[in-house]
A and B are shown apart, each in its own frame.
Chain A
């Protein structure tokens, strides 16, 4: 196990900066997910931590020791690749033992370790097969097994579930979480799927264009996004946004007015707010309620799943469509007008100049 610190980490490829002075602390035994859209630099960050890529400046510390110049093997990390990267000409057993043989480890210890890992991952019946004779899920387990046998200080996962079908993805997600609980080793997990990040990780690092947008617990990110990017990236369907203006500022919050809502008071810190400033209001689809009267919405699309309903529609005067999520079945027709109610305690306000969120006043 190892605690990891990234201090002012910077990476440049020729003239392009791909990681911008990143600072992250990962505690010993923690399960951390690096999330962000495709091409945001999350895999690069993982490769920098692994030692597969050299950093341009900054420091990577494992248990307080700088490891910038150490090879991946010397860092004692194990990595599970997106493509699994199994050795195609070797059997499952050989794939598991290859890394240990490199360490000139005693044959009996190697045998013991691979048997233990194979048992843990239910790989014993496939030990003499080559990767091409395995299913996607089995290959995935071999890749994890190859990481486990080395007893690494840190496990690095680079989008390991992206090649699996939906059902297997859910199953493997659970298996990796269980594995973390059993091994209690530091795990860093790269994914672009926020559901994976939210369900598996203890801490999420949101990466965007080579910068860290926010670091926090999954629920913190969902409930208190630091900026507009995190607010829109975390949560599915994404947060609804409306253009608005500040009409009053007081100690209890700020009052905003938009095409849809009039003089609506939201309990957020008002130090940086000025009357007349443009802001963006955010409300999650699951925080919208249906009411007898309120904000009218004309339904343009309806997704009824039986136990939940997604309502899509347009608000008068708003350019972007709105989506509401109801945790029950809702009977309506396309073209119907329904009335919505927003609860101020679940609303977010983002400054249009900085995209930063106004801090919520906790009651």
Chain B
């Protein structure tokens, strides 16, 4: 071990000696202040290539039509993609829209986001409060709740698909208990319930950790002062813990909203592509299908839907920043 670290150190030493002269030369040439840009440049190049460029391209595609892949082969059509997506008799009735699947996906994403964000937030809060009160086994339970976060979404989708299948573990348990077999993933409301449930199970651990960190940051003597003040446990939770946890809860809420709007992989695997019918088709799935899995590949329309989704997420983030500033104490 000592030899290895000595070897690694000697390599590092050689490297530092190697770059010393050019670094000193560059410092003299461009100044110490500007050297910082040079250090972040490699990351910025990759970031631009894989983030800024695709975002820019998606925005550009949103204003073009046709089915050609290359941007320069595509005609500019202005806001037509947007107006077609937004062309609805009534926004409450997807069937009255030109792209009914888009609006069905929006409706589905809306209820999914509402249930998933609320459910995960409440469950993560309860779990964190209970974990925070444990005197023994805190680390063990924290690991148990965090474990699903380490799994790949596809694995999560598959595990639960098998568990909920016609001949899956859950149905055999129900049958053993004298119940009736239910095809959970083929019934609209059951499948929606399980999509939300699996998502809460999958993501809750991560948010529990954020909330737990917030709980542990509340000074112990504030609780002791409350105890001296004769505050009941319930009142202490509502009047002290929750208000002091608000900044953390806001971060969690916004992250949850953003993640919920972006739901795709685990729901796609679990429901075999958003089924039954379009009961679990969400916006990202609509974008994916429109661009890549339909016979006529409408890249422009998919990009316009992406831009609309991006704007919605941007609005949510701005609201979070504004609320976080207000929640500071």
Contact = CB atoms under 8 A, between A and B. Distances in A.
A83 interface: yes
Contact of A130 (B227, B229, B244, B329): B329
A132 B244 CA distance: 14
Interface stretch (A16-24, A74-82, A205-213, A248-256): A74-82
Nearest to A102: B230
Interface string B117-157: 00000000000000000000000000000000000000000
A102 B234 CA distance: 11
A72 B223 CA distance: 12
A219 interface: no
A305 interface: no
Contact of A102 (B222, B229, B246): B229
Nearest to B220: A85
Contacts of A88: 222, 244, 329
A85 to B, nearest CB: 4
Nearest to A94: B239
Contacts of B329: 88-89, 130, 132
State which size class the interface on A falls in: 20 to 34
A79 B225 contact: yes
A273 B230 CA distance: 55
Contacts of A50: 228
State the majority secondary structure of interface residues on A.
Answer: loop
A177 interface: no
State which size class the interface on B falls in: 10 to 19
A339 interface: no
B232 to A, nearest CB: 7
B14 interface: no
Contacts of B231: 98-99, 102
Nearest to A132: B329
Contact of B225 (A74, A85, A132): A85
B93 interface: no
A71 interface: yes
Contact of B232 (A102, A132, A146): A102
A89 B244 CA distance: 7
Interface in B221-256: 221-222, 224-232, 235, 239-240, 243-244, 246
Interface of A: 50, 52, 71-74, 77-79, 81-83, 85-89, 98-99, 102-103, 130, 132, 146, 150
Interface of B: 219, 221-222, 224-232, 235, 239-240, 243-244, 246, 329
13 contacts: A71-B227, A72-B228, A72-B230, A73-B230, A77-B228, A79-B224, A81-B221, A82-B221, A87-B240, A89-B244, A102-B230, A102-B231, A102-B232
Complex A-B, nearest 5 residue pairs according to Cβ-Cβ distance, in ascending order? A73-B230, A99-B229, A85-B225, A85-B221, A89-B329
